[in-house]
């Protein structure tokens, strides 16, 4: 069996009413595959309706090292993503990253 150096974590928040995200999913959801050796986001998936939005967020987040802290990544989202779901996405991201650090601490990886 192949050894993995990554963890898969998720985060969710309530989607803003009146958006297509809310109508389809009710929540903003993010899935992150993070390398626990380098603390780098390797892969990203979201509950966005449009493929373009999913692709855009992959380019925003993939390759980011979480050791730099979350503030620069949140600022990047705020500077490049202008939609009603911006805050919901940030909250989901914060939840997923917190889950990641909790898991790293628990498992001593």
Q: Can you give the pLDDT at residue 15? A: 74
> Would you state the pLDDT for residue 47?
81
**Alpha helix stretches (DSSP H) within 32-83:** 51-61, 71-80
In the predicted structure, residue 17 carries a pLDDT above the cut 80: no
Q: What's the confidence (pLDDT) of residue 25?
A: 67
Q: What is the pTM of this model?
A: 0.88
CA distances from 38 to 34, 47, 53, 108 (A): 8, 26, 26, 14
Q: Tens digit of pLDDT for each residue in 22-49?
A: 666 677 889 999 999 999 999 999 887 6
Secondary structure class of 2 (helix, strand, coil): coil
Q: Quick one: pLDDT at residue 3?
A: 86
3-state secondary structure of 1: coil
């Amino acid at each position: 069996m192949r050894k993995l150096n990554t963890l898969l974590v998720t985060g969710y928040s309530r989607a803003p009413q009146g958006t297509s995200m809310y109508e389809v999913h009710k929540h903003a959801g993010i899935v992150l595959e993070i390398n626990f050796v380098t603390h780098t986001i390797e892969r990203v998936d979201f509950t966005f309706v449009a493929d373009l939005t999913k692709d855009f967020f992959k380019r925003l987040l993939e390759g980011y090292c979480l050791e730099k802290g979350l503030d620069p990544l949140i600022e990047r989202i705020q500077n490049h993503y202008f939609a009603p779901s911006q805050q919901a996405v940030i909250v989901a991201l914060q939840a997923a990253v917190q889950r990641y650090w909790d898991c790293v601490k628990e498992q001593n990886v």
